[in-house]
Structure 1
Amino acid sequence: MTEVLLYTLGIVLFAFGLLVSIAWHELGHLSTAKLFGIRVPQYMVGFGPTIWSKKRGETEYGIKAIPAGGYIRMIGMFPPGDDGRIEARSTSPWRSMIEDAREASYEELKPGDETRLFYTRRPWKRVIVMFAGPFMNLVLAAALFFGSMMTLGIEGQTTGVAGVQKCVIEQSEKRETCAPGDPVSPAFKAGLKEGDKIVAFNGTPVSDWDVLSDRIRDTIGPATVTVERAGQRIDLHPTLVTNKVPKKDEDGRVVQPLAYIDAGYLGFASKTEVAPLTFGETTDRMTDLLENGVHSVIALPGKIPGLWDATFGDGERADDSPVGVVGAARLTGELMTVDAPPERILVMFMNLLVMFNVSLFLFNMLPLLPLDGGHIAGALWESVRRHTARIFKRPDPGPFDVARLMPAAYVVAGVFVCFTLLVLAADIVNPVKLT
């Protein structure tokens, strides 16, 4: 019963974090739109039927039933047509898409709004309004990440000794039991013991696991390992041997999928502990998180076949498979039932929200309508056109009519809807497990 309550609590907490993230995103659009004098009739979190709303000033604030996004409604998102008209009047399906979008952006036009239309603002102001939403997600992600990493920290390897391997086993074999004929490990032969803390390697002080690991890997033959044991420093003299060990990337992380290389081997397990990170270490990790996010977005199309096979075939769901809102909620529910210290669960929960907000930022920056990045691209293109005309002393081409791109926007929206439904099905049929 307790486990069910904890699982439910995890889902509720994620839903709340999701709503806050969406509301924060839309607040970025709202605040900058009002700053530049654009009239905003609506600020809504969610889609579908309205659960609650209240009008304050000229804007209606509300929450809708489906927490899958949000929006603000700005007057005059698109300029009038070439003939100056804004109402729909065509029987062509493609042309109707353009005219319907244009008409919808003027639905709540009131006397005096002529000077408060979105499209009449200078391109740089429109860029700020559209960029402010995704930027708020990036700010929230950074605040959560820096807050959790620099206060609670993360579990990491140290130079302490958690255990000593008795024999040399190729790590690619993935076995733990020594077999007859396995040579004695250098650490065991030299007298390294559980509870020791390695403080120097070949006379050079070490306090960081990554540094110690690299020095061990680079050494084959006699070495001097200085340890702290019961308050005393003791020099041990192992002879390191060659072994198959996991390959690391340039950042010191084990590459995935696993690959193995020949390197120096001592033969012990390092102790892990939770410790806060410095500002510099957190910045490096945040940078890595953003880089990995960009690579994940680029690699997304290539993961669709595997996702389809895991959903409708007999394929396994990959650990790095795309996860939707339902999948993330399930992961959060599982997280709350894990037998681990509360601070570790809190860090992992906050990291899930961090990744969600980073994803919102990256996806919305794609230069495609109806995403924010599509409107940003339209405003930038208008600026280029107008500056080019001014340089060559040509007539001002006027505002760029983003509404003309609405047919393409419907196609993009259709692709996103199909992808979202596929991820939803995968999260239900074959979900990613926390383990």
Structure 2
Amino acid sequence: MTEMLLYALGIVLFALGLLVSIAWHELGHLSTAKLFGIRVPQYMVGFGPTIWSRKRGETEYGIKAIPAGGYIRMIGMFPPGEDGKIEARSTSPWRSMIEDAREASYEELLPGDETRLFYTRKPWKRVIVMFAGPFMNLVLAAVLFFGSMMTLGIEGQTTQVAGVQKCVIKQSEKRDTCKAGDPVSPAFKAGLKDGDKIVAFNGAPVSDWDTLSDRIRHTIGPATVTVERAGQRIDLHPTLVSNSVPKKDADGKVVQPVTYVDAGYLGFASKTEVAPLSFGETTERMTDLMENGVHSVIALPGKIPGLWDATFGDGERAEDSPVGVVGAARITGELMTVEAPKTTILVMFMNLLVMFNVSLFLFNMLPLLPLDGGHIAGALWESLRRHVARIFKRPDPGPFDVAKLMPAAYVVAGVFVCFTLLVLAADIVNPVKIT
């Protein structure tokens, strides 16, 4: 019963975090739009039926039933048509899409709003308004990440011995017990004991696991390991052997999917502990997180076949498979039931919210309508056209009509909807699990 309550608590906490992230995103758009005098009739978190709303000044604030996004409604998102009219009917379905979008952006126009239209603002102001939403997600991600890493920290390996392997076992065999014929491990033969803290390797001081691990991996043959034991320093003299161990990249992380290479082997387990990171270490990890996010977005189309096979075929769900809101909620629910220190669970939960906000930032920066990046690209293109016209002393080409791109925007939206439904089905049928 307790496990079920913890699971439900995890889902509720993720839902709250999701709502806060969306509201924070839309607040970026709202605050900058109001700063530049654009009228904003609505600020809504979610889609579908309205659960609660309250009007303050000229803006209606509300929460809707489906927490899958949000929006603010700004007056005059698109300029009038070439004929100067807001509405001009056509029998062409593509033309109708353009005209309907244009009409919708003016449907709440009031007397005096002629000077408060979005499209009348200078391109740099429109860029700020559209960029402010994704930027708020990036700010929230940074605050959560730096806050959790520098105060709570993460669980990491240390140079202290937590256990000594009695024999040499190829790690690719994935077994823990020794068999007859297995050679004695160098650590056990040299007298390494639980609780020893390794402070030097071959005379060179070591203070972190990554450094120690690299030196062990690059050594085969006699070595000197200096340990602290009961307040004294003792030199041990193991003879390291070659063993099959997981391959690591240049950053010391195990390469995924796991492959094995032959490297130096001592034969002990290191103790793990939760420790805060420095500002520099946190910055480095945040940079890695952003780089991985960019690579993930680029690689997303290539993951669709595997996602389809895992949903409707007999394929396995990859660990790095795309996860939607439902999948993330399930992972958070599972996280709350894991037997681990509370600080570790809290950090992992914070990191889930960090990754969600980083994803919101990266996706919304794609230069495609109806995403924020599409409107940013339109404003930048308008600025470029006008700048070129001034240089060559040509007539001002006027505002760029983003409404003409609405047919493409509907296609992009359709692709995103199909992808979202595929991820939703995968999260239900074959979810990613952490336990």
Q: Same fold by TM (over 0.5)?
A: yes
Query: Residue in 1 aligned with 2:231?
Result: 231
Instruction: Supply the distance in 2 between the matched residues of 1:2 and 1:172 (Cα, whole angstroms).
Output: 37
Verify the 8 A CA contact 1:48 1:66 in the aligned structure 2. Answer: yes
Instruction: Supply the distance in 1 between the matched residues of 2:350 and 2:88 (Cα, whole angstroms).
Output: 46
**CA shift digits 1:20-45 (9 cap, x unpaired):** 00000000000000111111111000
Instruction: Supply the distance in 1 between the matched residues of 2:426 and 2:261 (Cα, whole angstroms).
Output: 36
How far did 1:361 drift? Answer: 0.5
Aligned-partner SS, 2:251: coil
1:302 aligns to 2:287 (yes or no): no
1:154 aligns to 2:158 (yes or no): no
**CA shift digits 1:310-367 (9 cap, x unpaired):** 1111111111111111111111111111122221111111111111101100100000
Verify the 8 A CA contact 1:88 1:103 in the aligned structure 2. Answer: no
How far did 1:236 drift? Answer: 0.4
Query: Residue in 2 aligned with 1:419?
Result: 419
**CA shift digits 1:194-251 (9 cap, x unpaired):** 1111011111111100001111111121111100111111110111112222111111
Verify the 8 A CA contact 1:75 1:106 in the aligned structure 2. Answer: yes
Query: Residue in 2 aligned with 1:88?
Result: 88
Paired residues, what number? 435
Deviates more, 1:361-370 or 1:240-249: 240-249
Instruction: Supply the distance in 1 between the matched residues of 2:298 and 2:160 (Cα, whole angstroms).
Output: 39
Query: Residue in 2 aligned with 1:33?
Result: 33
**CA shift digits 1:258-302 (9 cap, x unpaired):** 122222111111111111111111111111111111111111111
Query: Residue in 2 aligned with 1:265?
Result: 265
Stretches (4+) displaced over 6 A: none
- Tell me the TM-score normalised to structure 1 length: 0.99
Deviates more, 1:21-30 or 1:336-345: 336-345
Instruction: Supply the distance in 2 between the matched residues of 1:384 and 1:93 (Cα, whole angstroms).
Output: 30
C-alpha RMSD of matched pairs (Å): 0.9
Instruction: Supply the distance in 2 between the matched residues of 1:412 and 1:168 (Cα, whole angstroms).
Output: 55
Instruction: Supply the distance in 2 between the matched residues of 1:134 and 1:185 (Cα, whole angstroms).
Output: 53
Aligned-partner SS, 1:397: coil
Instruction: Supply the distance in 1 between the matched residues of 2:5 and 2:186 (Cα, whole angstroms).
Output: 49
How far did 1:178 drift? Answer: 2.0
Instruction: Supply the distance in 2 between the matched residues of 1:292 and 1:278 (Cα, whole angstroms).
Output: 21
Instruction: Supply the distance in 2 between the matched residues of 1:124 and 1:365 (Cα, whole angstroms).
Output: 16
How far did 1:190 drift? Answer: 0.7
Identity between Structure 1 and Structure 2 (%): 91
Query: Residue in 1 aligned with 2:2?
Result: 2
**CA shift digits 1:59-112 (9 cap, x unpaired):** 111111111100000000001000000114112100000000000000111111
Query: Residue in 2 aligned with 1:429?
Result: 429
Instruction: Supply the distance in 2 between the matched residues of 1:124 and 1:319 (Cα, whole angstroms).
Output: 41
Aligned-partner SS, 1:261: strand
How far did 1:177 drift? Answer: 2.1
1:371 aligns to 2:371 (yes or no): yes
Instruction: Supply the distance in 2 between the matched residues of 1:61 and 1:55 (Cα, whole angstroms).
Output: 6
Query: Residue in 2 aligned with 1:107?
Result: 107
Instruction: Supply the distance in 2 between the matched residues of 1:263 and 1:221 (Cα, whole angstroms).
Output: 11
Instruction: Supply the distance in 2 between the matched residues of 1:429 and 1:182 (Cα, whole angstroms).
Output: 43
Residue correspondence of structure 1 range 319-358 to structure 2 within 5 A: 319-358=319-358
**CA shift digits 1:405-433 (9 cap, x unpaired):** 00000000000000101111111111111
Verify the 8 A CA contact 1:243 1:263 in the aligned structure 2. Answer: yes
Instruction: Supply the distance in 1 between the matched residues of 2:291 and 2:51 (Cα, whole angstroms).
Output: 38
**CA shift digits 1:112-155 (9 cap, x unpaired):** 11111111111111111000000000000111111111111110
Instruction: Supply the distance in 1 between the matched residues of 2:206 and 2:174 (Cα, whole angstroms).
Output: 28
Verify the 8 A CA contact 1:190 1:237 in the aligned structure 2. Answer: yes
Instruction: Supply the distance in 2 between the matched residues of 1:174 and 1:10 (Cα, whole angstroms).
Output: 32
Query: Residue in 2 aligned with 1:211?
Result: 211
Verify the 8 A CA contact 1:186 1:241 in the aligned structure 2. Answer: yes
Q: Which runs of 5+ in 2 are unaligned?
A: none
How far did 1:182 drift? Answer: 2.0
Deviates more, 1:310-319 or 1:205-214: 310-319
Instruction: Supply the distance in 2 between the matched residues of 1:53 and 1:396 (Cα, whole angstroms).
Output: 42
Instruction: Supply the distance in 2 between the matched residues of 1:243 and 1:395 (Cα, whole angstroms).
Output: 74
How far did 1:175 drift? Answer: 2.0
How far did 1:180 drift? Answer: 2.4
- Tell me the TM-score normalised to structure 2 length: 0.99
Deviates more, 1:259-268 or 1:223-232: 259-268
Q: Which runs of 5+ in 1 are unaligned?
A: none
How far did 1:165 drift? Answer: 1.2
